[in-house]
């Protein structure tokens, strides 16, 4: 049509439009329409629909359970008609189901949110164990308590062993002191560290934990949480979790090693990655800092405190877990400082014990050094002792006990073993283990006296140093030389 308006003939216009027939050009000219405007959509299939017989049933199943995947339905169809369907027809069914969902299945739209500077700090725990980082060669199960300012995407995080209130408290304090300012709101999900249920089934909703509210009150922040089962309301922090994990994964590859000497070194590595990522956010962060109130309060103590009485078994129960303490404390009331990674046990301001903090419930942390003397006085209690497994410091010690059981009666085997553990408690465990390794390789029988013989070595001789009197004249001569040089 455009060529005809330029004064060209129908033959010339046909050649220009790559149409071989002049009659075709004349037809479209008479209709005053382009070929694309004349073409009608095809209302028929070019080949038979292989799923026509079962499609009404498939529609019913999709209506009842929209989450059903095409692959699952295809496998069901193959079971109904084993000889009718082949794997190459799966893609056809996937297209049919995708078309059905687009027409019949309503979805929830993502509502873009407007973030205001300095308003919200979002915090969430994300597990980093999948990154494969190790501490001194040992696997390291840990979670990162990750905080983000949604307006600028400035972020910070702290490594913890669980999503506990202690972990959230430490992470919030470290984040605020790195930021140097305080937002209005602190937003989290419904973690048990932050909220608790008012009923067994959450029917009555959830309320904030009093300790968490006290933490926010100290810093002048207000709590905000998302609805139960609605992680999309925490979309910014969820997206930041994934982005930070990918960044850490890439920097571990650049580092060529995922092993760290200590947890402190690992935390330093994560801090370096976050610092680099925050460099790109300085301008928008400046906008946030301009409207946030400055941080003026000191940090709270990084531990919780509780008072417990030491039981007759020289054990204490803290947060539904059992820990051993020195037997001198039996019957006494002690104060326990609960840190994120460890516990400290005090008796009248004296630090009596320090041990790793357990995560979960109904577990125990027993130090054999606390109880071996009691067991030596009552060796008959060893074999059926509830926490007996903790009295085998390493696999070598257990192997030694099993060998002793082959040579001696149960009571004598237990007594010999307890004497060996006593040596480990009062000397060096590594020396006793080395002695046991040597004895386990020997075909002859042995007992605790052989262990004692191997670990005992003569005391090193103290070198005799010859003493001499000081000749002060030598110092006088040195001073005269210095004075002569100065002159």
> Which pLDDT score, from 0 to 100, does residue 6 have?
67
- For residues 296 and 166, what is the distance between their CA atoms, to the nearest angstrom? 21
Q: Which domains does the chain have, with CATH numbers?
A: 2-38 (no CATH), 55-104 (no CATH), 120-294 (3.30.420.10), 304-365 (no CATH), 372-455 (no CATH)
> Which pLDDT score, from 0 to 100, does residue 10 have?
64
Task: Please indicate, yes or no, whether the overall pTM of this predicted structure exceeds 0.85.
Answer: no
- Note down pLDDT in tens along the chain; length 487 residues: 566 666 666 666 666 666 666 676 677 666 656 665 666 676 666 677 788 888 899 999 999 998 999 999 999 888 888 888 888 889 999 998 999 999 988 887 777 778 899 999 999 999 999 999 999 999 999 999 999 999 999 999 999 999 999 999 999 999 999 999 999 999 998 888 888 877 766 666 788 999 999 999 999 999 998 776 566 666 788 899 999 999 999 999 999 999 999 999 999 999 999 999 999 999 999 999 999 999 999 999 989 999 999 999 999 999 999 999 999 999 999 999 999 999 999 999 999 999 999 988 899 999 999 999 999 999 999 999 999 999 999 999 999 999 999 999 999 999 999 999 999 999 999 999 999 999 999 888 999 999 998 888 655 666 777 776 777 777 777 777 766 665 5
> Which pLDDT score, from 0 to 100, does residue 113 have?
75
Closest CA to 279 of 157, 120, 176, 155: 155
Q: Rounded to the nearest 5°, which phi and psi values hold at 8?
A: -80, 155
């Amino acid at each position: 049509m455009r060529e005809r308006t330029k004064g060209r003939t129908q033959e010339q216009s046909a050649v220009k439009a790559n149409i071989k027939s002049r009659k075709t050009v004349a037809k479209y000219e008479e209709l005053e329409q382009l070929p694309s405007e004349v073409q009608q959509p095809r209302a028929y299939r070019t080949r038979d629909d292989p799923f026509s017989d079962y499609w009404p049933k498939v529609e019913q199943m999709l209506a009842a359970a929209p989450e059903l995947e095409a692959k699952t339905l295809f496998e069901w169809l193959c079971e109904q008609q084993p000889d009718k369907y082949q794997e190459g027809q799966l893609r056809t069914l996937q297209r049919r189901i995708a078309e059905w969902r687009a027409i019949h299945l309503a979805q929830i739209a993502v509502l873009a949110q407007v973030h205001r500077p300095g308003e919200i700090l979002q915090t969430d725990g994300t597990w980093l164990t999948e990154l494969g980082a190790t501490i001194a060669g040992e696997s390291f199960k840990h979670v990162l308590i990750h905080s983000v300012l949604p307006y600028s995407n400035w972020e910070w995080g702290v490594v913890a062993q669980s999503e506990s209130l202690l972990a959230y408290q430490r992470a919030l304090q470290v984040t605020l002191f790195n930021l140097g300012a305080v937002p209005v709101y602190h937003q989290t999900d419904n973690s048990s560290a932050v909220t608790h249920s008012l009923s067994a089934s959450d029917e009555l909703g959830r309320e904030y934990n009093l300790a968490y509210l006290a933490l926010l009150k100290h810093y002048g922040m207000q709590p905000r949480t998302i609805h139960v089962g609605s992680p999309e309301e925490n979309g910014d922090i969820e997206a930041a979790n994934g982005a930070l994990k990918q960044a850490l994964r890439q920097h571990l590859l650049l580092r060529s090693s995922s092993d760290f000497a200590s947890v402190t070194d690992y935390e330093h590595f994560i801090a370096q990655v976050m610092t680099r990522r925050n460099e790109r956010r300085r301008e928008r962060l400046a906008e946030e800092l301009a409207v946030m109130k400055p941080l003026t309060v000191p940090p709270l103590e990084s531990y919780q405190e509780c008072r417990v009485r030491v039981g007759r078994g020289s054990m204490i129960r803290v947060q539904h877990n059992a820990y051993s303490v020195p037997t001198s404390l039996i019957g006494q009331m002690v104060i326990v400082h609960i840190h994120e990674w460890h516990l400290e046990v005090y008796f009248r301001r004296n630090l009596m014990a320090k041990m790793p903090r357990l995560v979960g419930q109904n577990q125990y942390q027993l130090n054999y050094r606390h109880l071996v003397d009691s067991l030596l006085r009552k060796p008959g209690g060893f074999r059926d002792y509830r926490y007996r497994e903790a009295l085998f410091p390493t696999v070598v010690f257990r192997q030694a006990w099993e060998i002793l059981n082959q040579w001696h009666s149960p009571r004598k085997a237990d007594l010999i073993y307890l004497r060996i553990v006593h040596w480990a408690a009062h000397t060096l465990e590594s020396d006793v283990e080395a002695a046991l390794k040597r004895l386990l390789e020997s075909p002859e029988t042995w007992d605790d006296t052989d262990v004692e013989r191997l670990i005992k070595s003569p005391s090193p001789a103290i070198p005799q140093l010859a003493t001499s009197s000081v000749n002060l004249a030598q110092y006088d001569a040195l001073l005269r030389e210095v004075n002569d040089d100065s002159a």
